A and B are shown apart, each in its own frame.
Chain A
Amino acid sequence: MYEAPIREPLILGDKTNHDITEDICRPIEGKANKYWWWCFIVAVAALLWWVLCVAITVGEGIGVWGINNIVDWGWDITNFVWWVGIGHAGTLISAVLLLFRQKWRLSINRSAEAMTIFAVICAATFLLTHIGRPWLPYWLLPLPNQFGSLWVNFNSPLIWDTFAVTTYFTVSLVFWYTGLIPDFAVIRDRAKTSATKFWYGLLAFGWTGSSKNWQRFEEVSLVLAGISTPLVLSVHTIVSMDFATSVLPGWHATIFPPYFVAGAIFSGFAMVQTLLIITRKVLGLENYITTLHIDMMNRIILVTGSIVGIAYITEFFIAWYSGVEYESYCFINRATGYYWWAYASMMTCNVVSPQLFWFKKLRTNITFTFVLSIVVNIGMWFERFVIIVSSLHRAFVPSEWGTYHPSWVEVGIYVGSLGLFFTLFLLFARFFPVIAMSELKTIVKSSSTQAKREALKHGHSHVSHH
């Protein structure tokens, strides 16, 4: 495929195919450095805290949380929506950017997909714990049962959610794993010890890389990308319908599906930035995950952040324009009532801060990007908190008014879920190839520094032959 020689290269440092193999396999084959161990110890400590808080929740019941009859969804669903939203960026990078043939996805898609899977696992733990009796999750499935002809209610968005999250998780998992197979084969074929050879051989499923297999592999990737794209949009649409199909002011909004999807991509890209800025530094992948990649992701953060901002303002406008006093009250109360500080944090972090990315200097500044990516995720957490808690705490009649504060157990489960997430991600970064080698090698002849130099020297004819 032709690519203009003046377009910035995606792989720096004159890397050959063999260099890519070496650079990506080195962290797996070598010993973990002390940064990895420190991160891992902190993450596992948080994970153990999570285990304790979940054990208390399961043992005692969700009475140990701060939720009450008035605010009956609190941090649990806030965290669920936050984590599911974060997951969306991985699918966006691997599926939507594949359909749009955006080659810059190639060095970030693997870790973004891993992030998706781990984020959805975290989200699922909140679904399981919030049902109160987590040993009965199969009640959510349409199974024949001993209670007569009692089925799940397919009119309910909560059941749609069960189907959406299950499908999303399993499809993302096979998409990710199928992409990993050729890279596991790379590690298998260069294994120095018999243990490495055995384990990676097992994971590689006997992959050979014959042209017939590659032909099917490419078709499978393309079709999976094609069906994952509407799937990922459907997941957060359905999550938003958990709220939008109710009659509660602040939830009953037709704008929710697109607004939730944009917010999900917004927060997901922020999390990808947080993770990759650390990963590229710790694993020394600066030649593959370049400032160009960071700039590109920041542009998406800017676009989706602006969509989210417009959605907030539209919501406010419609609350007034509808003339419904409950709706108007809900929004005025959101901005000036008991939880005004949550609303103010949300507006600052999500609407104001991403606008700074209009400046190229800031978009390409790695420290600034890192800080802002965390700010965005704080903002997106507050968005879900505002929607859920501020809408619930002032319903139609004053007898339905109350407040909500999380208990230490709820806070513990949230902090612990970050531990779960980072434990899984660190294990991934230690044992799995964090960059899709077999995919990245396809652009060595068109988008590496040496290819660009050649193209500039000889004109266009040598860029690529196919």
Chain B
Amino acid sequence: MSKYIFAVYNDEDVLMQNIKPLRSQGVRIKEVFSPFPIHGMDHLIGHKRTRIAICSFIYGAIGCLLAIWMTQYMMIADWPMDIGGKPSFAYYKNVPAFVPIIFESAVFCAAHGMVLTFYLRSKTLPGVTAFVPDKRMTDDRFIMQVECNDASKKADLTNLLLKHGAEEVKEYGK
């Protein structure tokens, strides 16, 4: 398992400006922790685009099909009812009345499926112990997680980070 040290920044712009110079000098940045989302950060440290919106679309499509099947089965196949002289014997004639149900079902599945996927993929669940390298990371500090496998190079790496805008460099939880 890799070992890490943590560079603490007090300004998100300073942190962002220093990512490229640090990486060009061979520093391996694993993650950046911040109290709020910073646009472009994911791209800068090399995260791929999230596919969670595609998942949402698939869940929505499943919800849509589920509702089409449900209304077809219940209203046409299993128990056709004559309502107001307008019997529901053919799905294509009856389907306008089912549009609200199909829409709501699609939204329900798309939203809940996506949020559940988000929680599971991000390991954001009740009872999970949080990874907190520095307690100020949810307040006003920005933490850069840097790989440091060779203990002999730790001092050099620390100096490099301090030279590149870091306020302090520390180990996990210390």
Contact = CB atoms under 8 A, between A and B. Distances in A.
Interface of B: 13, 16, 31-42, 45, 47, 50, 52-53, 56, 60, 70-71, 74-75, 78-79, 81, 83, 88, 94, 97-98, 100-101, 103-105, 107-108, 110-112, 114-115, 118-119, 121-132, 135-140
CB-CB nearest 4 A-B residue pairs: A206-B128, A17-B140, A214-B37, A151-B74
Interface in A248-291: none
Interface in A174-208: 174-175, 178, 181-182, 185-186, 188-190, 201-202, 204-208
A137 interface: no
Contacts of A213: 122, 124
Query: Which of A153, A186, A212 has most B Cβ within 10 Å?
Result: A212
A189 B52 CA distance: 28
A70 interface: no
Contacts of B42: 211-212, 214-215
A465 B13 contact: yes
A12 to B, nearest CB: 19
A442 B37 contact: yes
A209 B35 contact: yes
A16 B126 contact: no
A445 B78 CA distance: 61
A220 interface: yes
A80 B65 CA distance: 31
B100 A160 contact: yes
A345 interface: no
A318 to B, nearest CB: 24
Contact of B31 (A211, A224, A441): A211
Given A167-B105, A208-B130, A438-B37, 10 more contacts: A155-B83, A190-B138, A209-B33, A211-B31, A211-B32, A211-B34, A219-B52, A222-B53, A234-B103, A466-B38
A178 B115 contact: yes
B114 A189 contact: no
A167 B135 CA distance: 37
B70 A142 contact: yes
B68 to A, nearest CB: 11
Secondary structure at the A interface, as helix, strand, loop or mixed, is: helix
Contact of B38 (A157, A160, A211): A211
Contacts of A21: 35, 139-140
Nearest to B124: A205
11 contacts: A21-B35, A151-B74, A155-B75, A171-B107, A171-B108, A174-B112, A201-B129, A212-B42, A213-B122, A438-B36, A466-B38
